[in-house]
Structure 1
Amino acid sequence: MSLDDRHSDDLYGGTGQTRTRYPDSPAPDPRRPGRSPSRSLITVVGVVVLLIAAIAFANRGGDSASGGNQDSGSAPKSSSTAATGTKPVGAGFAHDEQGAQSAAANYAVQLGSAEMFDKAKRDQIVDTVYVPQAAAARRGALDKVYSSESFLTSIGLNKDGTAPNGTTFVSRIIPVGTKTTAFDGDTATVSIWYSSLFGLAGEGAKNPVSESWYTNSYKMRWISGDWKVEDFTQKDGPVPVGRDQRASTADDMAKAVKEYGGFTYAR
């Protein structure tokens, strides 16, 4: 699904309830593999470190490591997860707190997607997600990270960024919840708690798909009739306790990746 499709009436279509829409045709999406005792700690740590180095560093910029925890405050209210009854606008996101949360959640999905490893798609995502000044400032850093042969080969991809034969590259963000920590009409700060799936699905994959948990805090600005990202910070967790589930086979994982599409609209 293109980013332009996100603004179509069909996508927003509306019952007034909290929504998650799926694409009409299958697209890659993995399921979490259960943790296997045979998986080495080195492999797991390596995947997490590489993912943070590529995505968090490139998107956040050099000076955004501080101030990542902006989520202190009062306990959440019951309305946090209730449907707002507000129908999304026909183009862009609503000019209110719900719209800011929707924009941030969907932008997080795009910034954490496998499409960021494709130059043309990455440029489109950056231009759509960020305010113009931030997009121009980040493009060079993103190009450097995502085109680095040493990085690509370290995570199991070929030097041109493609997945080895018989494998499917997975990079997915699944928002679990959002909240607005600040709002002032044309500016907002939105925190997103999410799970990240990253790795290669397929027999003999160097870095099997693994799961990580993060919270991102996005500084949003209303500009040209839509919410855009000015900057964001990232912190680990909260991380739930893992269940004792049996790891799926490589064939099952690859099949799931091909059959299940990712979220195209959240909250």
Structure 2
Amino acid sequence: MKVRVAHGPTGVRDGVPIGYTRDVEGAATAAVNTVQALTQAGQGRITMDAVQAALLARDPGPHLRSSMRIGRDRIASADVVNLVPAAVSVTAFTQSAARVVVWTVAVSRTAIAEGAPISVVTAWATHTVELVWEHGDWKAKDAAGQVGPTPEEVVAPGIDSPLGRPLQSGYYTVYVN
């Protein structure tokens, strides 16, 4: 499937967005889509093999290898986790590598324990994605996440906080059902 967006993706392969421009905005978009694709693979909605072929570098780092193990051969679950990017910041960029921080909110609808009623849970997280330019596209070399900060914690983020840096508007979300 072909897609026409300013900085990518330019297409979708096996349910995974591919094809980004070799600039700050393309790196930001690739990082957001990587975080979302890893989440979808972790739920069994797309295969980790498809994510690996489309978005991951040939020699992934330790955090990314761990995510790959978690998402490998998952069976699709009735539980739903939607990961929505709230802000993205490119904290380092060259023509061959980029570091992108993606602040997300996750919305989950699931039973917290077996036999418990269905609950809706939200959680804020910050994901750092290390990208490399490989085979004509941005590929994730490593990706790590941590819980938080919540919105009330970032009213005045310090310069050391990824959210204290300028935010990029170069990412797009695409609703696919």
Q: TM-score, normalised by structure 1?
A: 0.46
* Higher share of residues assigned strand: 2
2:149 corresponds to 1:238: yes
The 8 Å contact of residues 197 and 212 in structure 1, kept in 2 or not, is answered as yes
> Relative to structure 1, is the Cα distance of residues 142 and 104 closer, same or farther in structure 2, using a 3 angstrom cutoff?
closer
Cα deviation, residue 120, structure 1: 6.6
- Tell me which amino acid in the other structure corresponds to 1:169: D
Structure 2 distance, partners of 1:182, 1:223, is: 17
SS at match of 1:88: coil
Structure 2 distance, partners of 1:224, 1:198, is: 35
Residue pairs, 1:1-267, within 5 angstroms: 5=1, 8-9=2-3, 12-13=4-5, 87-88=6-7, 90=10, 92-113=19-40, 115-118=41-44, 121-134=47-60, 142-143=68-69, 145=70, 161=75, 163=77, 168-200=78-110, 208-241=119-152, 263-264=173-174
The 8 Å contact of residues 191 and 217 in structure 1, kept in 2 or not, is answered as yes
> Relative to structure 1, is the Cα distance of residues 123 and 116 closer, same or farther in structure 2, using a 3 angstrom cutoff?
farther
Cα deviation, residue 118, structure 1: 2.8
Structure 1 distance, partners of 2:151, 2:34, is: 24
> Relative to structure 1, is the Cα distance of residues 188 and 120 closer, same or farther in structure 2, using a 3 angstrom cutoff?
closer
* Higher share of residues assigned helix: 1
> Relative to structure 1, is the Cα distance of residues 226 and 232 closer, same or farther in structure 2, using a 3 angstrom cutoff?
same
SS at match of 2:47: helix
Cα deviation, residue 123, structure 1: 1.7
- Tell me which amino acid in the other structure corresponds to 1:130: L
The 8 Å contact of residues 126 and 139 in structure 1, kept in 2 or not, is answered as no
Cα deviation, residue 197, structure 1: 1.8
Structure 2 distance, partners of 1:112, 1:172, is: 8
Cα deviation, residue 96, structure 1: 0.4
The 8 Å contact of residues 106 and 264 in structure 1, kept in 2 or not, is answered as no
Aligned sequence identity (%):
24
Aligned length: 143
Q: TM-score, normalised by structure 2?
A: 0.66
Gap regions ≥5 residues in structure 1: 14-86, 149-159, 242-262
Structure 2 distance, partners of 1:200, 1:219, is: 31
Q: How large is the Cα RMSD of the aligned pairs?
A: 3.2
Ranked by relative contact order (alpha carbons within 8 Å, sequence separation 6 or more), the top structure is 1
Runs of 4+ deviating beyond 4 Å:
137-141, 160-163, 204-207
Structure 1 distance, partners of 2:72, 2:20, is: 32
> Relative to structure 1, is the Cα distance of residues 205 and 172 closer, same or farther in structure 2, using a 3 angstrom cutoff?
farther
- Tell me which amino acid in the other structure corresponds to 1:103: A
- Tell me which amino acid in the other structure corresponds to 2:7: P
* Bigger radius of gyration: 1
- Tell me which amino acid in the other structure corresponds to 2:35: A
Cα deviation, residue 119, structure 1: 8.7
